[in-house]
Chain A
């Protein structure tokens, strides 16, 4: 017989867990005590705030493809992870949050640090379960990892009552077999594959929308084979940016509000839209009644609830896109759409001349966000993992980073969580220890998680931090300029001396103000073993362009503030 806490250790090891991000507290102390004997079995990362633990688990999961684990105490420890749980739900990130809970006989009594965690997390998690007896640990942990990591991944919350942590149990690891209340991967109807193939063969102007589902299914090779055989141009969602490498002739850039002009305009000119592992988020579609009305739609997804949710699909192909893309590739004819693909060129040229050129190769004036992002990307050989915070730093780095490897972008897409970047980047360094991890943050977002400098100091996590400092909450400032009559309510921000903060944590750092210092500072950052903070003083009032105004049609993009 072993304690429930030790049983949890055995269960985590059985699931292949190699890293746990956590923060101890009263109701989880027996588990942390058990962990003391397992310091060689998995890495134990002490974060500085439980929200950081959840985001770090997300970053770990997104970089590695494995389930991220975070371990916190009850009450405030548990509620501090909520933002991470909601974020992981919207972005389909597999994490398991294990939170302490008061002993079962105290449940419902408003005991110290008691909170109804299952009640709180049910609507924002894939599964939420309270473990009240040590006998349930084997099954609950096995099921938690199964549900988090299979099908459309998502967050699972285990609310772990203290009596179950200290009670004794005869532990045997469990495995989850078929379940009647959970179908991870829906069956693919062969007829839907045939119908989709027929539409694809008949299409003259097909456009494929590549979403994160392709990364989650590990299907980047299948995507490439499919689009090359059918000769279909590809627009990527924010989370799907690394599904097809930069430089591929069919890669036409990013979709959505701050995406590229070509794929957005062509969305309303194509005759067939093939959406793969994406969910037609409003930041991608703009106004729905002006979205691709001329096109037939094929939707490949693993989640039946996504079909016809926002955009009606003429053909829905359910299943794992690694499989369905391969089946479609086999079912279609080889094709060429040269003229259609070339028709993107004038839009690429227009965007290059009116936006991109000025954003990444400005000749004078203050430094700009885009030029920093492109310079960092190139200096890393375009091989780094890009982690972003949320806001202008996110859109600019996502736009101007170049992706040559899969799983190269980690960003909070659905929830848009400021403060996500720094802890997610810490997690990513553990999830992909062989890759360079660069996180772009603004002066707003960095301060929402700046306490994680402590985690970086302690673990030496080699996070390359790029702080784009414009002394503004830039994205809100941009909306105020464009849509709120330049009334800059609560967006100018007085900043601390970040060099001194970095120094206090023993993190090497450099501040760049002049353009001619940038390249060497980036080289220094990338050449430094371990973490580095590069602060770049950037133009105060730069706008992210082009832009589909909120509620606007996808194909009508502002190229600069004058278009407003």
Chain B
């Protein structure tokens, strides 16, 4: 089956050790996690994981069910890119002498809509938020200038395009008992 990039959104109780259990499901199925983000959710006491992985649909369905089966996982859902709004952020630490030397560097930064957060005589820190492809493209161009001292990017974060809020509805139903 064809492999696609899937985004899993998992809601769970905020309990130590749960992330371990979730990633173990990927390990057993030999799926690499491309990116992972953990944060609070809009619901009190509920944590939210956004995980991306390359997989075929058959496997991602099984993985999602096996994650949802874990005690204290509230719900898990998988999405393709056209079903979500998504964003990630990257930071580039760039050599200031090179930046001053080559005007193309700051031109490139502006062209990508990235911003310089801080600059001193030694380095400048550039922040770029966007989707993966944009960030990779910027990185490729900056790499060519041989100016990048450090690079880091966050995991993808995503919210669904769906107008229904399945987790909230489920929790409401549970609370009504």
Contacts and interface: CB of A to CB of B under 8 A. Distances in A.
B69 A304 contact: yes
Contact of A122 (B21, B28, B61, B66): B21
A303 B71 CA distance: 13
Given A180-B74, A181-B72, A122 B20 contact: yes
Contact of B24 (A118, A122, A181, A304): A122
Interface in B34-78: 61-62, 65-66, 68-69, 71-74
A147 B69 CA distance: 12
Interface string B1-26: 00000000000110001001100100
B17 A122 contact: yes
- The interface centre, meaning the residue of A118, A127, A147, A180 with most chain B CB atoms within 10 A of its CB, is A180
Contact of B61 (A147, A178, A308): A308
A123 B21 contact: yes
A120 to B, nearest CB: 11
A305 B74 contact: no
A305 B20 contact: no
Nearest to A147: B71
A95 to B, nearest CB: 15
Q: Place the interface of chain B in its size category.
A: 20 to 34
Contacts of A305: 62, 65-66, 68-69
Interface residues of A, number: 17
Given A303-B69, A304-B65, A308-B61, A181 B74 contact: yes
Contacts, number: 41
Contacts of A36: none
Interface in A308-330: 308-309
Contact of A182 (B20, B24, B72): B72
Contacts of A181: 12-13, 71-74
B61 A123 contact: no
A368 interface: no
Interface in A101-147: 118-119, 122-123, 126-127, 147
Contacts of A180: 13, 74, 170-171, 174
Nearest to B25: A123
Interface string B76-93: 000000000000000000
- The interface centre, meaning the residue of B68, B69, B73 with most chain A CB atoms within 10 A of its CB, is B69
Given A180-B13, A305-B66, A309-B62, A126 B71 contact: yes
Nearest to B21: A122
B103 interface: no
B28 to A, nearest CB: 8
Nearest to A303: B69
Contact of B71 (A123, A127, A178): A127
- The interface centre, meaning the residue of B17, B21, B71 with most chain A CB atoms within 10 A of its CB, is B71
Interface string A160-183: 000000000000000000101110
Contacts of B171: 180
A116 B76 CA distance: 27
Interface string A50-64: 000000000000000
Nearest to B171: A180
Interface string A179-200: 0111000000000000000000
Contacts of B28: 123
Interface string B145-177: 000000000000000000000000011001001
A395 B171 CA distance: 47
Contacts of B62: 305, 308-309
Interface in B91-111: none
Interface string A497-541: 000000000000000000000000000000000000000000000
A304 B66 CA distance: 9
A178 B174 contact: yes
26 contacts: A119-B20, A122-B17, A122-B21, A122-B24, A123-B21, A123-B28, A126-B71, A147-B71, A178-B174, A180-B13, A180-B170, A180-B171, A180-B174, A181-B13, A181-B71, A181-B72, A181-B73, A181-B74, A303-B69, A304-B65, A305-B62, A305-B65, A305-B66, A305-B68, A308-B62, A309-B62
Interface of A: 118-119, 122-123, 126-127, 147, 178, 180-182, 303-305, 307-309
Given A122-B17, A147-B71, A181-B73, 14 more contacts: A118-B17, A122-B21, A123-B21, A123-B24, A123-B28, A178-B174, A178-B177, A180-B174, A182-B72, A303-B69, A305-B65, A305-B68, A307-B65, A309-B62
